[in-house]
Amino acid sequence: MNPKLPPTPRAQERKELLAGGFKDKHTAMGSVLLAVGVGIAIEGCANTYMRTGKLFPGPHLYAGGWCGKGNLGGGGARAAGSLLTGPLFKAVACVSQAQGC
C-alpha cells in the first residue's frame, strides 16, 4: 500500500478482520472438530468390538436392517442426514470465517 494515498475502505476492513484473530479461532475450531471426530471413530471401533467380539461383524451392523429390503423410511432418513451435513459444514465455515454467508 502506498503511504501517500489514503487507505481504502477495503484496506480498513482487512485491518479490522486481521485484528479480530479469526484465523486463530478457525484453526482452534478445526482442531477441536478433528479431535472429536477421531475420538468418535475410535470409540465406534471399541464399541463394535465390545458388542460383537470382532471389528467387522458384517454389512448389517447398525442401519442395515433399516435401509435394506425396500424400507423407504430408513433409506430416506439416511439420505436426509447426508443432505443436511453439507449445509451444516458450510454454516460452520461461514461463522468461523466471519463471511456473512
Whole-prediction pTM = 0.46
pLDDT in tens, 67-76: 666 667 777 7
What number of other Cβ atoms are within 10 A of residue 33's Cβ? 13
Of 20 and 65, more confident = 20
**CA atoms within 13 A of residue 74's CA, in its CB half-sphere:** 11
- Mean pLDDT over 67-94 rounds to 77
Average pLDDT over the chain, rounded to whole? 79
CA nearest to 17, candidates 98, 95, 90: 98
pLDDT over 60 at 28, yes or no: yes
The CA-to-CA distance between both ends of the chain, in Å, stands at 28
Residue located via cell numbers 486481521:
18
- According to the model, what pLDDT value does residue 35 have? 95
